[in-house]
Structure 1
């Protein structure tokens, strides 16, 4: 990435950790999400279609959880970590960027017992 690139919203990852397994949960989410990484007891998922904003991603992911069938929702509830991780790629411009999560998005995240985390990735060093 160029040091002159703009700061950009990347995506929201849904990170899950459970000692009880995630198979029913992942199966119930189906094609609505794409696994970035999954192994025994851990999954990192993102929406199947790129969201335009953190708000859209949080709302869509949280809504998927509210609509889970009972057995998958029980698996969700047993997760030791349920994190909506907002990814931002830092750039040299503009001077500042604001990404808002309205109360409705925060309330929906709280209603599914998920944490919201913001990860900012540094600008890459310029190539020699």
Structure 2
């Protein structure tokens, strides 16, 4: 039987404008999982390098990385139409009740940088 578990937090970015300086800044201290651009938009998915054991810690680590970006990177951050922390979880059959808290301080930090939160739950992989 599979257990419910927190996997990771991905930072998802989307912009109609160039975000190459922002992605380059983030790439110095995080992992760029995906960066794609075409004539209408640019998309990026970023993950912290550490194996944070909770969404709260992972989000704070990513916030710290964002806050340390260059002036050009921060300007591009503000141009993004999507700045989302995507919390990933594996679903499962146990425990009966599972929760992960995000502190009020972390929520304020997310709000201060103009980001949002979403949750992705992956189905149980039956053998």
Note whether the superposition's TM-score is higher than 0.5.
yes
Structure 1 runs (4+) deviating above 4 angstroms are: none
Distance 2:67 2:119 in 1: 22
Check whether the contact 1:31–1:48 (CA below 8 A) recurs between aligned residues: no
Check whether the contact 1:15–1:85 (CA below 8 A) recurs between aligned residues: yes
State the TM-score, normalizing by the size of structure 2: 0.92
Query: How many residues are matched?
Result: 123
Check whether the contact 2:33–2:47 (CA below 8 A) recurs between aligned residues: yes
The alpha-carbon deviation at position 69 of structure 1 amounts to 1.5
State the TM-score, normalizing by the size of structure 1: 0.91
Deviating more after overlay: 58-67 vs 11-20: 58-67
Unaligned runs of 5+ in 2: none
User: What is the 5 A alignment of 1:42-81?
Assistant: 42-81=43-82
Aligned counterpart for 2:2 among listed residues 1, 5, 10:
5
**RMSD between superposed Cα atoms in Å:** 1.0
Check whether the contact 2:26–2:32 (CA below 8 A) recurs between aligned residues: no
